Chains A and B, each alone.
Chain A
């Protein structure tokens, strides 16, 4: 899988506040003009002051400067939401489009290798585009409000900020899913140590199938 140009596809979503911009998670440009996918919990389904943050400093082929917090914000609005699969499609006023080939979890087998591209820790203000590779550990059905949907277990630790990260099949860069979080009994949130939920410190990441994104655009 080529890493060149991923900085023109994967960005952070943020919200403008009186104190500046709060980065909320990762999003990525789809193959329809101006449309981006992220997790619906990243935006909380709230349009107010939502932006896509473009830093110009996230090229994976160079050293990304951790002291450089400069960038542009582009107003975004929520175009479609599927709260069951935790997917949100954002729209910005642009003709920009990616050449992503959107597949789904049916296109990959357990043990196959995938690449994850996103912004771990962006919720703490760290806007560093990061590539991780791992393998599919399991194909699972996860329930939400009585509906079961196709998901993957990825054998990798992910962190806050990575929700909305695209997952590519390494052999041909086909999009197969999107990170939505990690396994935690009851959804976690019980204990916090220094802002970290110990329930999430493991290598069982949950990703939703991108087949549901195709149905929304």
Chain B
């Protein structure tokens, strides 16, 4: 799908402009602090917590969202999993081909699956896409498939 192939070929500035300015500013600080480590920056976003502060909300101890889980869902979205067929169709049929729109649809769809708002995970989606290093989409999907292949141990005789 051309739109998805293009989005993973986008450069950092293009992808940063697809999210809110205050979010992009935070990501730029993360990247500066981590010498452009996209995955650590993604963890910094997902695990952010105000230091030494007890929180006074009503849902304590809710399960954290892990970067690996998001990467798994991103793979499903980009590599053709049926679960995201409708969302990919939405992107393909829309006249809006901007990165902002595509990242928005991807984030909302993946967020729905993992129980998080799209606007919360959009910056992580951007960082995960940047971490692919402009690899060709097909090659990345194949690589992900290979790394997940089960290793079967030989039977003992």
Residues of A bordering B, CB below 8 Å = 15, 22-25, 39-48, 77-86, 122-123, 142-147, 158-164, 179-189, 197, 199-200, 206, 208, 212, 215-216
* Interface set, chain B 104-157, CB cutoff 8 A to A: 111, 115-117, 119-120
Most buried by B among A44, A143, A159, A164: A44
Q: What's the Cα separation between A163 and B56 when bound, in Å?
A: 5
B26 touches A81 (CB 8 A): no
Say yes or no: A82 contacts B26, CB within 8 Å: yes
Contact A144 B52 (CB under 8 A): no
Q: Which B16-43 residues sit within 8 Å CB-CB of chain A?
A: 20-23, 26, 29-30, 33
Task: List A contacts of B119 (CB < 8 A).
Answer: 78-81
For the complex, count residues of B whose C-beta is within 8 A of A.
33
Residues B53 and A182 in contact, CB atoms below 8 Å apart: yes
CB-CB under 8 A for A143 and B54, given A44-B62, A83-B45: no
How many angstroms between the C-alpha atoms of A82 and B24 in the bound complex? 11
Q: Does B47 contact A (CB under 8 A)?
A: yes
Asked whether A187 and B58 contact (CB < 8 A) given A78-B119, A82-B22, A83-B45, the answer is no
- Number of interchain pairs (Cβ within 8 Å): 140
**Residue B60, interface by CB 8 Å:** yes
Residues of A within 8 A of B58 (CB): 22-25, 42, 122-123, 160-161
- Alpha-carbon distance A12/B108, docked complex (angstroms): 25
If over half of A's interface residues share one DSSP class (helix, strand or loop), that class is named, otherwise mixed; here it is mixed
Contact A142 B48 (CB under 8 A): no
Closest B residue to A179 using CB positions: B56
Contacts A/B (CB < 8 Å), 17 sampled: A22-B59, A25-B56, A39-B57, A41-B55, A44-B62, A45-B65, A47-B111, A86-B55, A144-B49, A145-B45, A146-B29, A146-B30, A161-B58, A180-B50, A187-B53, A197-B54, A215-B21
Q: A79-B119, A81-B117, A147-B29 are in contact. Are A142 and B51 (CB under 8 A)?
A: yes
CB distance B53 to A183 under 8 Å? yes
- CB-based contact A25/B57 at 8 Å: yes
Residue of A nearest to B64 (CB): A44
Which of B22, B50, B57 contacts A42, CB < 8 Å?
Answer: B57
User: Which residues of the partner chain A approach B6 to less than 8 Å between Cβ atoms?
Assistant: none
Which positions 50-102 of chain B face chain A at CB distance < 8 Å? 50-60, 62, 65
Q: A24-B57, A142-B51, A186-B52 are in contact. List 9 more A-B contacts (CB 8 A).
A: A25-B57, A83-B45, A146-B44, A147-B30, A160-B58, A181-B56, A187-B55, A200-B56, A216-B20
Q: How far is the CA of A79 from the CA of B46 in the complex (A)?
A: 17
| A14–chain B nearest beta-carbon distance, Å | 8
- Please give the distance in Å from A50's CB to the nearest CB on chain B: 9
- Verify B20–A147 contact, CB threshold 8 A: no
**In whole angstroms, what is the CA distance A167 to B55 when docked?**
17
Question: Across the interface, do B117 and A46 meet the contact criterion of CB distance under 8 Å?
Answer: yes
B116:A46 contact, CB within 8 angstroms? yes
Given A46-B115, A145-B45: A83 and B56 interface contact (C-beta under 8 Å): no
